[in-house]
Amino acid sequence: MKIIIISDWHLGVDWGTELEMDSFAHLLQAFSQIKEENPDLILVSGDIFNETVPSQEIFFEVINFFSNLDLDNKIGITNNGKKLKYPIVCIEGNHEYRGKDFKSAVQLLEAMGFLKRLNLESISVFNEDEKINIFGIGSFPDKYFLDILNKWSPIPERGAYNILLMHQSFREFLPFESNDEIPSLSNLPKGFNVIVNGHLHWSYKTMLNDNEYFIMPGSTTTTQNKKIEADNPKGFFVLNTKTNEFLFKEINGTRPIFYLDLHFENSSINQVLGKIKSELDIIKQKKLFKKPLIRIRLKGDLEKGYFLKDLNLKDIEKDYPDFYISFSVKLNEKGLKESINTIQELQKQKRSLEDISRDVFFEQISQTNVSKDFDYKRLFEILYNDDLEKAKDFIFL
């Protein structure tokens, strides 16, 4: 049997912005490629929607998408005795989770006959001499997940091909040291041919045990511009259950993503801006078919005398209107760090408040690029005596 494994569509993400139709455009292209694969079954491991309660406008686009899919349910998957329109089996992700007294957006799609939803249950599908068992557990808070999974205790069937769908975080993929509440891959049940996980937005495949695989298809669209997403294409897996082979297919035409990690040492504001523009000019030379998303992270130290308040990144965005640019600024002002150290040292010397203030004031002045041909000593005395009007007159004489 040929099975498509796909996840995290996040339909409706960035709604109300220029990017509001990206999630739908990417998914339409994905299903255009899926159609060419002529699959028997499509498995979705959560987060079809981006919002727990989508707006009517978003739901209109979602229903329009499903209503116009060109796929045959040739293996005859049913739900409540009725044949589904499409051979789609899914679970709910954390973006769709609602309490037991409420219906989720995925349940509405199920009621329309578009798909079959699993939560702590399984179904079996058949194709010629093959039996495929699909087990599904929706998203749960990390601290409860293992208890719920162990209580449910899904048991793979000998002689059949067994797939487990889930939507969770795992310690092995977190960028920080996690606590014991976060599950580990070692906690997963054994005996499944493949365990499919959603939630994490990059593709991944590894063998857990002999011929037992753990895979993550990743997302079909970008919700957070992270480096790992910029380095990994969006796509889906094609599984051949007879050979147990997985082939990752990249979705054509998704919006390009770039992640620039720029490090500076003792740099001026102009050097920082110059480096940013230099990197953006390189991207500008590429033949891009869509306006790209660019995340720029600035790290390191500014040269003494330069301050973050003078770093006008809005001008960068104006100079490159063909890019969607966002910044993460983690630059240090050397003067500020040194002033703090100076204050700490002066406090140890038990000097007077006036002496400490005077030394810090003149240290700050020395770190700036303003003219030194000015009587700062007199200005300090006026300010220290809290005479602001006199200070204004002194400055503008």
pLDDT digits over 311-327, tens only? 999 999 999 999 999 99
**pLDDT of 100:** 78
| 385 and 273 together in one domain | no
Sheet with 88-91: list strands edge to edge: 116-117, 88-91, 41-45, 2-6, 235-240, 245-250
Q: Which residues on neighbouring strands pair with residue 3, listed in sequence order?
A: 41, 239
Do residue 19 and residue 96 come from a single domain?
Answer: yes
> Crossing angle, helix 56-67 and helix 22-37, to 10 degrees?
20
275 and 327 part of one domain: yes
Question: Is the pLDDT assigned to residue 389 strictly greater than 80?
Answer: no
Q: Strand, coil or helix: what is 33?
A: helix
Residue 130 within any structural domain of the chain: yes
What span, in angstroms and rounded, lies between the C-alpha atoms of 355 and 286? 58
Same domain, 157 and 271: no
Q: Based on the fold, state whether residues 234 and 320 are members of the same structural domain.
A: no
Residue 174 has pLDDT above 80, yes or no: yes
Q: Is 341 a member of any domain?
A: no
pLDDT tens profile 286-301: 989 899 999 999 999 9
Contact 158, 131 (CB under 8 A): no
Tokens of 316: 């960068």
Among 250, 268, 285, give the residue marking a domain's end. Answer: 250
Residue 149 lies inside a defined structural domain of this protein: yes
Per the domain annotation, does 362 fall within a domain?
yes
Higher pLDDT, 44 or 310: 44
Q: 270 and 121: one domain?
A: no
* Residue 332 pLDDT exceeds 80: yes
Do 163 and 51 reside in the same domain of the chain? yes
Whether residues 55 and 83 fall in one domain: yes
Residue 139's contacts (CB-CB under 8 Å, 6 or more residues apart) are 46, 91, 92, 93, 94, 96, 97, 166, 167, 168, 199
Report yes or no on 302 lying in a domain.
yes
Among 29-38, 237-246, 367-376, whose mean pLDDT is lowest?
367-376
Tell me how many degrees the CA angle 194-161-202 measures, rounded to the nearest 5. 20
Residue 21 — φ and ψ, nearest 5°? Answer: -100, 5
Task: Write out the two tokens for 98.
Answer: 């609602």
pTM for the whole thing? 0.82
Tell me how far apart the alpha carbons of residues 38 and 240 are, in angstroms, rounded to a whole number.
12
Q: Which residue's structure tokens are 């094609």?
A: 238
49-103 residue pLDDT tens: 999 999 999 999 999 999 999 999 999 999 999 999 999 999 999 999 887 789 9
Q: What range does the domain containing 119 cover?
A: 2-250
Q: Rounded to an integer, what distance in angstroms lies between the CA atom of residue 234 and that of residue 220?
A: 5
Check residue 360 and give its pLDDT.
65
Q: How many domains does the chain have?
A: 3
| Residue 382: band (very low, low, confident or very high) from pLDDT cuts 50, 70, 90 | confident
Q: Which of the pair, 148 or 230, is modelled with greater confidence?
A: 148
151 and 291 share one domain: no
Q: What is the mean pLDDT of residues 106-128?
A: 95
Contact 60, 20 (CB under 8 A): no
41-45 and 2-6 as β-strands: parallel, antiparallel, unpaired?
A: parallel
Give the pair of three-digit tokens for residue 57.
């406008």
Is the domain of 245 the same as that of 265?
no
Q: Name the pLDDT band for 340 (thresholds 50, 70, 90).
A: low
Q: Dihedral through CA 87, CA 89, CA 94, CA 99, nearest 10?
A: 110
Residue 203 placed within a domain: yes
Give the model's pLDDT for residue 376.
65
Give the list of residues 6+ apart from residue 281 with CB closer than 8 angstroms, or none. none
pLDDT at residue 202 tops 90? yes
For residue 336, give the amino acid letter: L
- The first and second tokens of residue 225, run together, are 């511009």
Single-letter code of the amino acid located at 279: E
In a domain, 345, yes or no: no
Q: Which domain-ending residue is among 204, 234, 250? A: 250
From 192, 222, 250, the end of a domain falls on 250
The half-sphere exposure of 87 on its side-chain side, counting CA atoms within 13 A, is: 24
* CA–CA dist 348, 351 (Å, integer): 8
Angle between helices 388-395 and 376-384 (to 10 degrees): 160
Domain assignment of residue 33, yes or no: yes
Same domain flag for 132 and 227: yes
For 109, how many CA atoms within 13 A lie in the half-sphere containing its CB?
28
User: Which alpha helices (H) appear in the chain, and where do they start and end?
Assistant: 22-37, 56-67, 105-111, 142-152, 227-230, 269-284, 314-319, 334-348, 353-367, 376-384, 388-395
Dihedral of CA 104/108/111/115: which sign?
negative
Identify whether residues 170 and 294 lie together within a single domain: no
pLDDT reported for residue 224 = 81
Separation CA 86–CA 74 (nearest Å)? 9
